[in-house]
């Protein structure tokens, strides 16, 4: 790797690590210290309004329904999620956020909103456009790797 | 006699805010500022928002929350959402 590539690599790893660490610390210090970042992201995938099926939620998170069931069990015990039987098909279980879950979801969203505001506010129109295009390119490359490694693991798990 | 819809919404809004802010309803007016006058933090603001969403069957986005400063703002928002 040349100096430029090394710098890009260091920045990417540093951003990834610090966002995760800051999210974790913010949760620990706040009103929702009994849930982890991973659990918070499960709450995000359930979403604040619709009652979603387990398979829809698992697909959003990119995990198997078996993995999700374990995570949802824990969140139900902690009072953040509740299970409902589908009104039209009693075999289908839907999940929804409790009031505490909605509150955690909202507070966590605020954390992300502040982060994006701090990043975007000082930029002019051109700067925002460069940032958007760069992030889309990074997302495209990371998504390719994600599909290659993570989704192929799930396919093997489901065999 | 039927209650004026705005008045009915106003009554529900101040009872929700009074409950969560821990103040008496008589202390609240249309011009009461939720953050400046009641010193509500973001957690309490979200509690109010979630309760209003439930009571009025609404979805209130974060950018809409940024525009709600007073009790009257909340009432106007709910009236607008119901007439939309």
Q: Is residue A63 part of a domain?
A: yes
CB-nearest to B50 from A99, A110, A113 is A99
Which strand (E) or helix (H) includes residue A52?
strand A52-53
CATH of the domain at B60: 1.10.1200.10
Q: Is residue A98 part of a domain?
A: yes
A91 and A79 together in one domain: yes
A74 and A148 together in one domain: no
Q: How confident is the model at residue A73 (pLDDT cuts 50, 70, 90)?
A: very high
Q: Is residue A20 part of a domain?
A: no
Is the pLDDT at A6 greater than 80? The verdict is yes
ipTM score above 0.90? no
A93 and A145 together in one domain: no
Domain count, chain A: 2
CA distances from B70 to A38, A86, B9, B49 (A): 36, 39, 14, 13
CA distances from A60 to A11, A57, A84, A97, B23 (A): 27, 5, 19, 16, 41
Is B81:B58 a contact under the CB 8 Å cutoff?
yes
A97 and A148 together in one domain: no
pTM: 0.81
A60 and A132 together in one domain: no
> What was the pLDDT predicted at A114?
86
Q: Is residue A135 part of a domain?
A: yes
Q: Is residue A9 part of a domain?
A: no
- What's the pLDDT tens digit per position in A138-151? 999 988 888 887 76
CB-nearest to A109 from B47, B59, B62 is B62
Q: Which of A96, A97, A98, A102 to mutate to test the interface with B (most CBs of B within 10 A)?
A: A102
- Nearest residue of chain B to residue A113 (CA atoms): B62
Asked if the Cβ–Cβ distance from B50 to A103 is below 8 Å, we say: yes
CA distance B61 to B83: 17
> What was the pLDDT predicted at B72?
95
Is the pLDDT at A76 greater than 90? The verdict is yes
Asked if the Cβ–Cβ distance from B49 to A106 is below 8 Å, we say: yes
- What's the pLDDT tens digit per position in B24-73? 999 999 999 999 899 888 889 999 999 999 999 999 988 899 889 999 99
Is the pLDDT at A158 greater than 80? The verdict is no
């Amino acid at each position: 790797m040349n100096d430029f590539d090394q710098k890009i690599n260091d920045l990417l790893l540093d951003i990834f690590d610090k966002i995760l660490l800051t999210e974790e610390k913010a949760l620990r210090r706040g009103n929702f210290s009994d849930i982890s970042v991973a659990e918070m992201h499960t709450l995000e995938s359930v979403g604040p309004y619709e009652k979603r099926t387990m398979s829809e939620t698992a697909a959003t998170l990119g995990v198997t329904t078996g993995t999700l069931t374990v995570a949802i069990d824990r969140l139900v015990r902690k009072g953040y999620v509740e299970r409902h039987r589908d009104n039209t098909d009693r075999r289908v279980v839907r999940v929804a956020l409790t009031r505490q879950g909605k509150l955690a979801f909202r507070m966590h969203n605020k954390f992300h909103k502040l982060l994006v505001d701090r990043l975007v506010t000082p930029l002019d129109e051109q700067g925002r456009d460069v940032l958007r295009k760069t992030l889309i390119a990074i997302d495209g490359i990371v998504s390719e790797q994600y599909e290659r490694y993570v989704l192929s693991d799930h396919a093997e798990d489901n065999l | 006699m039927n209650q004026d819809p705005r008045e009915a919404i106003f009554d529900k809004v101040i009872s929700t805010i009074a409950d969560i802010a821990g103040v008496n309803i008589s202390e609240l007016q249309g011009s009461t500022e939720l953050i400046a006058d009641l010193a509500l933090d973001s957690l309490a603001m979200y509690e109010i928002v979630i309760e209003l969403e439930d009571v009025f069957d609404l979805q209130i986005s974060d950018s809409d929350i940024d525009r709600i400063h007073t009790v009257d703002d909340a009432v106007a928002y709910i009236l607008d959402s119901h007439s939309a």
